[in-house]
Amino acid sequence: MTTTLTWLGHGGWSIASGGAAILLDPFLTDSPVAQAKADEIAADFILVSHGHFDHIADVAGIAQRTGAKVIAAYEVASWLEQQHQVKDTLGMNLGGGVEMPFGRVEMTIAHHSSQLPDGSYGGNPAGFVLTLEGRKVYFACDTALFGDMQLIGARGLDLAVLPIGDLFTMGPADSIEAIRLLRPKRVAPAHYNTWPPIEQDASAWAEQVRTQTSAEPLVLAVGDTIDL
């Protein structure tokens, strides 16, 4: 079976794999670039990387409507249960992994912050390595560049999704170094061009990827898909 990833804009993705509909950091209702609607999108599972508004704002509503299981850092999962009555959550922590019906979910470190919208402590921010139909995908999510990306890449990555917006995450220059450490076959940018402070030239970034790394760059418009 083919795994298909659809960019929802900003840091959000929809993933169809193993017969499941998986969302990562859906930010739709208040996003100026999103095309999908939070009250219509399908979800069996929702992965949440950290507690910032632009990654968690639609999670409770989608989970309540669909009954999706939310997988997140323990503190974020507990907050969704206690403050938003999300019934099905799975709290994880950095370095942990879990087998799910669609594949394996591993939670990696990310260098960022994770305060929840009401000011509550959101635990550690995270990235995810997903094993889907035998393919490995790394979502760095919101992070700075860090040297242990080399260890994440050592397992062999079919695709890496990296933020390039700068200001709140690593920018294009650091993302090139991240690609050198990760050594993915293909790489896609995210977390850029949502608002003016994180505007970037993705075509220029892609040319840097081609000339300075061995990865194939994939620049998507919002709503475009990648098949693994």
Full set of structural domains in the chain with CATH:
4-227 (3.60.15.10)
pLDDT of residue 189: 98
Give the separation between CA 11 and CA 120, rounded to whole angstroms: 21
Mean pLDDT of the chain: 98
pLDDT category of residue 1 using cuts at 50, 70 and 90? confident
Give the separation between CA 59 and CA 26, rounded to whole angstroms: 7
> CA end-to-end span of the chain, whole Å?
10
Give the separation between CA 50 and CA 182, rounded to whole angstroms: 22
pLDDT of residue 199: 98
pLDDT of residue 83: 97
Pair 142, 52: CB distance under 8 Å: yes
Q: What percent of the chain has pLDDT over 70?
A: 100
Q: What is the pLDDT of residues 42-98, one digit of tens each?
A: 999 999 999 999 999 999 999 999 999 999 999 999 999 999 999 999 999 999 999
